[in-house]
Structure 1
Amino acid sequence: MSLTSATLLVFTLVCTALLFAAAVWLWPRLARRGWRPVLGRVALVLAVQALVFSSIGLGVNRSMLVYGTWDDLLGTASPHELIDRDSGGESLVKVIGRRQPDVPGGVTPQIGGEIQKVMVQGKQSKVATPAYVYLPPEYFQKGNEQRTFPAAVVLTGFPGAAENLLKPLPYPKTAWSLAKQKKMQPMILILMRPTVGPRNTQCVDVPGGPASETFFASDLPEAISGAYRVPSSAAAWGIVGDSTGGYCALKVALQHPEHYAAGVGLSADYKPEIDGDSGDLFHGNKDEEKRSDLLWSLDNLPQGKTSFLVTTSLQGESNLGPTRKFIEKVKDPARVSSITLDRGGHNFNTWKREIPPSLEWLGARLTVQ
């Protein structure tokens, strides 16, 4: 059974209730002295507690989608696949599933658009990784067969599943609603995790692989532009993310203005976090380690003609100080905007409030010819 399935959660809850009832029934029999009754009582208590905590964990995970699969939970996930062959002119994007957007009329693509689950192959990075592609209804409407659309890469935090960007962070639904209200131009969204492997690669080209920065900076725009009606020019491309995904979005937009015109960091970090989830990202390469510090990069590397949007909160966020420093360090020809909430934590509720203005801001800065 899937880790996030309702069947597994219900099964665990039923087992918990049955075992609790059995414990109540058996307890008088285990009240006698002796090592066997004591062992029985300990075993029952531990078993009930294990099932209670499992039920709570499964419920929270199903709501928050922190871990999407058993492999993610156990640390055995290996979502990237090395590509040893040349694409031979074949599409670098393979559609492996479709689903309806959670919008009125979502059953009809011309009304609600479509969400495609795809595998994206990186031509330079030599990896393949899954993503969701949201195509707006205008993409399917008659008369738009030759129309091109801007695109935005949308990244989760880590750990996290790409499904987080469908619910509880409703990016396709919000984009559909804003376009319908004429507050934002129709836009294609590519929804992903901020890594191309089981490690938290944080958009760094790790020596020996995986080449995470190369994938997001150049492979992904090339693959999507070759499969959908999206221009390959940087003016048509933006990238947005929250937390670790926000760091990736700002890093890629800052250091690759040749591919991205705008980047949005929601509660973003400003340098990679080295821990057990990331492992050693730099292998002693101090130059690359400094370059991955965005505040250092703003001071020491040329800034391109890129627009940035950063968000933070006066209370509840730990990135308030670094965000203010980021804003101060952005110089012409780059541009920076910001959203500072009075209160907001590092969580879905905060980011859900920031998605509509962020998509409006992003849509206003992307152009197609």
Structure 2
Amino acid sequence: MVVVPLLGWPLEVLLGSALVVVVLVLVVGWSRVRGPRPVRVAQRVLLIGTTQALVVLLLAAGANNYGYFYGSWSDLLGGSTRAAVTLPPTHAGRAPQQRQVGAAAARASVRNGPTAWSTRAQWATRGRVDSVIVQGARSALTNEALVYLPPEYFQPAFVHRSFPAVEVMTGYPGVVTNLVARQHYPDALLAELRRRGAGPMVLVMLRPTVAPPRDTECTDVPGGPQALTYLSEDVPSAVESVYRVRPLGWGAMGDSTGGYCAVKLAMMRSDVFTTAVSLSGYYHTLRDSTTGDLWGGSQVLRDLNSPEWLLAHQPPPPVSVLATIGTAERGHTGITDTRHFLSLVKAPMSVSSVIIPGGGHNFHSWSTVIGPALDWLSKHLHAASA
């Protein structure tokens, strides 16, 4: 059976064609329906309802193509694909070495490889984007990631160099390819590298939705998905076992829910993450229909997952945070919340902020600050390693 992919123009064409056909049937057949009055009414209601349903589906498909909210039918319907831990080779002709990390092994095997983002001849000048699947040895969670390796990674002068690594996260629900195709993180970092605004970093791009369709908010849910463990332990361990990245001193960056997760990783796991960038993120715990109760009914656990509560009631960790927000972002996750978070920060934690005049909660606003944010992130990560 042929299944039309959720993303892309084929689904829009199919829905648009079906809408045209139903509208024609509605116009031509309105006066031609036959049968008793109740039957005629039912037929007309069915035609009108079908037309309206197709309009809604066409609009939804168009919005999904623009925003990359769901990447596949399994994402939309709540399914997930579990696979072996796979990471691509980093050097032609040489398989990565497996090694034990901590109490559990971050298992890795070669299955996926470089994407078409660049050719082999361009690796030393443009870098490479790898498609990988990471299955957590501790959390038992599986997620897709795209790993950007900068040009320096393939240059002879850097062959023995280990690079700073950054987890770059989407919002909820998110599609990981959005970070490359829509937000252009590899291109943005490459541009900053070329103008020497940033130093070389490895970007591990993924989404925080590790147990779709539930929004775990990067939380170790009691009796549920161990999202924090996956992002703070499994991903760094698995990536470090294959790529030349530093095991500690990671950065985290994301927008919306990804921004909340980035700050949360730095504050709760400062032994691994020392720097975070939050693009239109929020700084307190949320509960809604997509999250459910993430804390097993415990107010203590809920507080411990709130960056604002942690700053108000516990000693701050020695991490650096950059928070960006648009002036048009209102509500309890908008600019007022960001300003409250900024007011709570105290040494040894440091914070910088960027206020975007007229900026909203959207890709356009984030694209204006991604380059400068990568510069800021790079300076802090390279300074910490030095």
Length-normalised TM-score, structure 2: 0.87
Which one of the candidate residues 292, 310, 313 is aligned to 1:279? 292
Q: Deviations over 1:206-242 (max 9, x none)?
A: 01121111111222211111110101122xx100111
SS of residue matched to 1:331: coil
Partner of 1:160: 174
The answer as to whether partners of 2:165 and 2:204 remain within 8 angstroms in 1 is yes
Deviations 1:337-358 (A, max 9, x none): 0001221111222112121111
Counterpart residue type for residue 50 of structure 2: A
Q: For the Cα contact (< 8 Å) 2:106–2:238, is it kept in 1?
A: no
What displacement does 1:180 show? 1.6
1:201 maps to 2:197: no
Identity across matched positions, percent: 35
User: What is the aligned partner in structure 2 of residue 99 from structure 1?
Assistant: 115
Matched, 1:333 2:348: yes
> Does structure 1 residue 77 correspond to structure 2 residue 90?
no
What letter is aligned with 1:99?
T
C-alpha distance in 2, partners of 1:44/1:328? 57
Q: How many residues align?
A: 362
Displacement of 1:110 in angstroms is 2.3
Residue from 181, 205, 228 that aligns with 1:191: 205
Query: What is the CA-CA distance between 1:90 and the residue it aligns to?
Result: 6.9
Structure 2 counterpart SS, 1:344: coil
Distance 2:320 2:271 in 1: 13
Alignment correspondent of 2:244: 229
- Structure 1 residue runs of 5 or longer lacking an equivalent are none
1:41-120 to structure 2, matched below 5 A, reads 41-74=44-77, 76-79=78-81, 91-92=107-108, 94-101=110-117, 108-120=122-134
Cα separation, 2, equivalents of 1:254 and 1:163: 27
1:264 is aligned, of 254, 263, 277, to 277
Residue 93 of structure 2: aligned partner: none
Q: Cα offset for 1:142? A: 3.4
C-alpha distance in structure 2 between counterparts of 1:215 and 1:5, whole Å: 30
Secondary structure of the 2:31 match is helix
Quote the offset at 1:197 in angstroms.
0.7
Structure 2 residue 302 is matched with structure 1 residue 289: yes
Superposition deviation, residue 24 in structure 1: 2.3
**In the superposition, relative to structure 1, how do residues 98 and 317 fare at CA in structure 2: closer, same or farther (>3 Å)?**
farther
- What is the TM-score normalised by the length of structure 1? 0.90
- What's the CA shift for 1:175? 1.0
Aligned to 1:173: 187
Aligned-partner SS, 1:78? coil
Name the residue aligned to 2:234. 219
Ranges in structure 2 where 5+ consecutive residues have no aligned partner: 86-98
Q: Deviation at 1:150?
A: 1.2
User: Structure 1: how far apart are the matches of 2:38 and 2:8?
Assistant: 40
The C-alpha deviation readout for 1:267-316, integer Å capped at 9, x for no partner, is 11112211121121111222211111211101222222210001123333
The 2-side partners of 1:124 and 1:32 are apart by 65
Letter in 1 for 2:358: R
- Are 1:142 and 2:156 an aligned pair? yes
Comparing 311-320 with 207-216, greater Cα deviation is found at 311-320
Query: Secondary structure of 2:158's partner?
Result: coil
